[in-house]
Amino acid sequence: MSGWRLKSGGTIDRDRRVRFQWDGRSYEGFAGDTLASALLANGISLVGRSFKYHRPRGLFAAGLEEPNGIVQLEADEATIPNLKATQIELYDGLIATPVNVKPSLEFDLMAANSLVKRFIPAAFYYKTFMWPGWHWFEPSIRRAAGLGTAPAEPDPDAYEHRFAHTDILVVGAGAAGIAAALAAAESGTSVMLVEVEPELGGGLRDEKQPVEGQSATAWLKKATKALASKSNVTILRRTMAFGFYDHGLIGLHERIADHLPPDQRHGPRQRLWKVRCGQVILATGAFERPFPFARNDLPGVMLASSALSYLSRYAVAPGRNIVIATNNDSAYTVGLALHDAGIQISAIIDSRTTVGACARDAEEKAIRLILGAAPVRAKGRLRIESVSFAPVSSTTETGSVGCDTLLVSGGWNPTVHLHSQSGACAASAQRPSRPDASVYGRPSGCRRSLGRFAE
């Protein structure tokens, strides 16, 4: 037990309590929560097990990049396997369970596999269980290494296909995507803005810095209102752009009723869009990189940016005693925001030996700085209890800090999945560490970026 709900803050509706079940037990959250934020607010750190060795797993991120919070949603004919807890909007009566655990999440018998992991490396079964026949062993092995359970009854929901044409399709509704959609709409062209989250804003929802001379919240509210007032703009929330194909074809997956209880879903539950467009603007932002170190998969190890999202959107503290490991300035913003919210920051471990103004801000708040060092091992059983560190030029441990949460920030990678799938040339754009947007037309052959990645 570590995380908890703060008494104020966030964008959740505290007047609407939502009851849900997790692993057979009842809990409460608020309207506007995700399953992940509600679990964290209730102090639940263990959300799953790794698929082969069944090592404990906790929440690592707050969005699409979450690798660990894989759950089974609902039961009987309404059940859906292998959904990410960070993408499930909380609704009253929601039932979720961890996948692939026996008999329970806390006491998983299959965790014994980790004790003999040196003898069962990747694909060992294809070489070991060949006599008298692989098919004799295959069902048991796949059950042990599988994930969720597919429903055995017919799907009660309806689905829909839709085709559309637009002059400009903008993928991502952060600052860059909203600004691009507004600029395009001013020219009179038809614009479609696609956002995977239920709310527009992206990173602006966590931002404290001003945007164009006003607060990020005020700018977002004004821009969203301006978009909604334009008849040539179509906004699709809860919609993922999953494919960038030839001749300007984009595949979209819209979740229409997934955020509603099963008995309140009317009409199609999901919709597949096939959109033809003249230009595509990718404003998909970036994902934060983790650090590699021993046992960096323990529950309680999280991305720093995800901790800021849980704090600013859901008023959830990821832990009570936090250490931050970083190699860039963005993690200091997270640390200062958590500190200002009354959460203890025991130390910031920075691999750099020279840090600018952000270090002075941390020191002013009496936050311990450990410079020129990096984490080498997380310690604990079902959750991190301490982290040991060493100088960046050595792997010999020189110290240890107690904590129940370790936030890591190893820099940023651009979200280039659609950019790469489109067939864009690697040399078609300059890519800084944290791009926001790129513009594509419809040339023949390799699509060449017509714009640039903007910081």
Final residue in a domain of this structure, among 103, 134, 155: 155
Q: Is residue 349 part of a domain?
A: yes
| 249 and 261 both lie in a single domain | yes
C-alpha to C-alpha distance for 87 and 56, rounded to whole angstroms: 21
Q: How many distinct structural domains can be found in the chain? A: 3
Write down which residue in 133, 155, 177 finishes a domain.
Answer: 155
Q: Looking at the structure, do residues 109 and 173 belong to the same domain, yes or no?
A: no
Query: Global pTM?
Result: 0.89
Task: Tell me if 386 is assigned to some domain.
Answer: yes
- The reply to whether 4 falls in a domain is yes
Supply the CATH number for residue 252's domain.
Answer: 3.50.50.60
Do 167 and 279 lie in a common domain?
yes
Please tell me whether residues 199 and 217 are part of one structural domain.
yes
Can you give the pLDDT of all 455 residues of the chain as single tens digits?
Answer: 578 999 999 999 999 999 999 999 999 999 999 999 999 999 999 999 988 888 999 999 999 999 999 999 999 888 999 999 999 999 999 999 999 888 888 888 878 877 777 777 777 777 777 778 888 888 877 777 778 888 889 999 999 999 999 999 999 999 999 999 999 999 999 999 999 999 999 999 998 888 888 999 999 999 999 999 999 999 999 999 999 998 899 999 999 999 999 989 999 999 999 999 999 999 999 999 999 999 999 999 999 999 999 999 999 999 999 999 999 999 999 999 999 999 999 999 999 998 888 888 999 999 999 999 999 999 998 999 999 999 998 777 789 999 999 999 999 999 999 999 888 744 344 443 334 455 554 433 333 332 322 32
Distance between CA atoms of residues 108 and 54, nearest Å: 7
Structural domain includes residue 256: yes
Sign (positive or negative) of CA dihedral 319, 8, 89, 417: negative
Same-domain check for residues 178 and 123 = no
Q: Verify that 142 and 83 share a domain, yes or no.
A: yes
Residues 299 and 381 in one domain: yes
Q: Are residue 195 and residue 328 in the same domain, yes or no?
A: no
User: Pick from 155, 171, 187: which residue ends a domain?
Assistant: 155
Task: State the Cα angle at 313 between 199 and 269, rounded to 5°.
Answer: 40
pLDDT on residue 280: 95
Range of the domain at 431: 158-284+423-440
**Same domain, yes or no: 218 and 326:** no
452 in any annotated domain? no
Residue 193, domain member (yes or no) = yes
Torsion of CA 293, 299, 305, 306, to 10 degrees: 150
Between CA 29 and CA 428 the distance in angstroms is: 46
Same domain, 133 and 4: yes
Burial classification of residue 211, based on how many CB atoms lie within 10 Å of its CB (0-12 exposed, 13-18 middle, 19 or more buried):
middle
Q: What's the pLDDT score for residue 102?
A: 84
Residue 303 CA to residue 409 CA, distance in Å, equals 6
In a domain, 449, yes or no: no
432 and 377 in a common domain = no
CATH number of the domain within which 20 lies: 3.10.20.440
Pair 160, 137: CB distance under 8 Å = no
Asked whether residue 57 falls in the same domain as residue 143, the answer is: yes
Per the domain annotation, does 446 fall within a domain?
no
